[in-house]
Amino acid sequence: MEIRAWAETDTAGFRELFASCFGREIGEDYCRWKFDTNPAGEAIRYVAFENAQVVGCVNFIPLRLWIEGEKTIAYQSVDTMVHPELRRQGLFSALTQTALGEMSRRGGLVKVNFPGSESYPGYLKLNHQLLMHFEYWFHLDTVTGLRRAARVRTPRGPDEGAIAVCLPKNVERISFFGPAVDRLWESARRKWRVIQERSSEALQWRYYARPDRRYSCYGYLEGGECLGYVIVQGAKLVDLLTTGHPQVMDSLLRAARCHQALTHEAVQHVWLSPGAVERRAWLRRRWRQVRVWHGKGPFYPKQPVCLYLLDSHTAVSKVLMAPGNWYLTMGDTDWA
């Protein structure tokens, strides 16, 4: 078994391993976007070989994390994979420890990740700490209620079934993230002690440059300024950032419902973190936490968020370990 740094010639093997582990195919353009064009910098990548075949891979992508108003380069682990036939043999740990060593050499202080049920115990053994759980929330509406709320009109004739959406006042679809979004980001980021960067450059790469998925963004624009935006994928809310005015949030959530009407889906959903816009604000807007029933009673779907700190005894580490200091959204987790 050999573990070495990533090389361009490993792309084909990486894609085959991805299909074996996750059950779907990815293209070269997706790999290039995810790992080679990130404006935050170069990814940390290692692969494991056996008999000239890629059997394991670890990837840390850099992200610009603002901590107490200061920008730092952190990392997020994504697509950590071990071939199904070679699991529980220490390969996951070996790959992750190798990448953590490189992260330390590059000066990275913190790594965040959103593990699945299989990798979660492994990360805890590697000195990762549970930071928080994302909660799965939904907003249920009938089609009739959606159309009334979104003030949609169903035209007759050849285009019957198409829905023309009337967005709330001051809300427009954003096709390119520009200077107005940068000014919003500079204003909004000061409200949070820990937040991932949402500059126009970061958003353009993260959502509109992605080749395999289509996102839509709606902004609340007034007097040439953007006071907030919401990013959606179908009925899924991916990101929401505002200046804090309740009217802006109401209008953006209403715009998301307008977009939902186009998808013909009856349920909006979002992953909320404890540090997101306070729970009461979502409850007032008739959002509820998902509750699933099984033989032992109700179960609330949750997504763990893990944190690895290079030094857990600094003042910065204490800030990072408080879940309420973070503002994370589904967009921070939605990489696969």
**Interval 158-210: pLDDT, tens:** 333 333 356 889 999 999 999 999 999 999 999 889 999 999 999 999 999 99
Q: Are 81 and 56 in contact (CB under 8 A)?
A: yes
Q: Is there a shared CATH topology between the 2-108 domain and the 135-304 domain? A: yes
| CA distance to 118, 154, 321, per residue, from 76 (Å) | 18, 44, 16
> pLDDT for 66-88, tens place per residue?
999 999 989 999 999 999 888 88
Higher pLDDT, 15 or 276: 15
Question: Residue 37's pLDDT is what?
Answer: 95
pLDDT at 248 over 50: yes
pLDDT in the model for residue 149: 46
pLDDT-derived band at 118, boundaries 50, 70, 90: confident
- The pLDDT, as a whole number, for residue 310 is 87
Q: Compute the average pLDDT of residues 234-256.
A: 90
Confidence of residue 299 (pLDDT cuts 50, 70, 90): confident
- Hey, is 277 helix, strand or coil? coil
Query: What pLDDT was estimated at residue 232?
Result: 92
pLDDT, residue 186, reads 95
- 3, 94 contact by CB (below 8 A): yes
Exposed / middle / buried, residue 326 (Cβ in 10 Å: 0-12, 13-18, 19+): buried
Please give the pLDDT value at position 332.
65
- Domain 135-304 sits in CATH 3.30.70: no
Domain boundaries, the chain: 2-108, 135-304
Over range 4-28, report the average pLDDT: 92
Name the more confident of 38 and 257. Answer: 38
Q: How confident is the model at residue 29 (pLDDT cuts 50, 70, 90)?
A: very high
Express each pLDDT in 123-162 by its tens digit.
Answer: 999 999 999 988 888 887 654 444 444 444 444 333 333 3
> Per mean pLDDT, which of 164-173, 234-243, 297-306 is the most reliable?
234-243
Query: What class has domain 2-108?
Result: alpha beta
**Dihedral sign of CA atoms 116, 117, 121, 124 in order:** positive
Average pLDDT across the chain, whole number: 85
* Assigned token pair, 293: 């029933």
What pLDDT band is residue 295 in, cutting at 50, 70 and 90? low
DSSP calls for 214-243: --EEEEEEETTEEEEEEEEETTEEEEEEE-
For residue 141, the model assigns a pLDDT of 63
Q: Which two tokens stand for residue 143?
A: 């089609």
Q: What is the pLDDT of residue 154?
A: 40
Predicted local confidence at residue 143, as pLDDT: 47
* Number of neighbours of residue 208 by Cβ within 10 angstroms: 16
pLDDT bin (cut points 50, 70, 90) of residue 49 is very high
At residue 247, the pLDDT reads 92
Tokens 């500059």, located at residue: 199
Q: Check residue 283 and give its pLDDT.
A: 81
